[in-house]
Structure 1
Amino acid sequence: MPGSPKSMGALTVGTLVVVTAYTAAMGSNGWLWFGWVVLLLATVGTAATTTRGR
């Protein structure tokens, strides 16, 4: 199911790995970290909404 907490969680973890690797190789980029935090909050919101509906 698109937008499920499992798929969003996997995307969030994968994005964290990519952002961390980019930071280690190229230096810190605040916009990448900001984007990751927004994705994390969306994932938490989706998980909270899905669990509440059960």
Structure 2
Amino acid sequence: MSGSTRAMAVLTTGGLVAASAYSVALGGDGWLWFAWVVTALTTLGVAVSSRGT
């Protein structure tokens, strides 16, 4: 895993923690979770594509 892919994975994990904390403190927001899922899928795609090289 390259450095940029690893950084993206760390930021995605941090986003999950932030989204969870926001949901616990202020209630769930569908757009927040949608954005996180899109980010997670993008990170997964980058990780898979970088494995092939």
| Residue in structure 1 matched with residue 27 of structure 2 by the alignment | 27
Q: CA separation in 2, counterparts of 1:47 and 1:5?
A: 6
Please state if 1:36 is matched with 2:49: no
Structure 1 portions without partners, runs of 5+? none
The total of aligned residue pairs comes to 51
So what's the TM-score if we normalise by structure 1?
0.89
RMSD (CA atoms):
1.2
Structure 2 portions without partners, runs of 5+? none
So what's the TM-score if we normalise by structure 2?
0.91
What is the CA deviation profile of residues 6-53 of structure 1, one whole-angstrom value per residue up to 9, with x for unaligned ones? 001000000000000000000000000000000000000000111011
User: Deviation above 3 Å: which 4+ runs of structure 1?
Assistant: none
8 Å CA contact retained: 1:4, 1:46: no
| Percent of aligned positions that are identical | 47
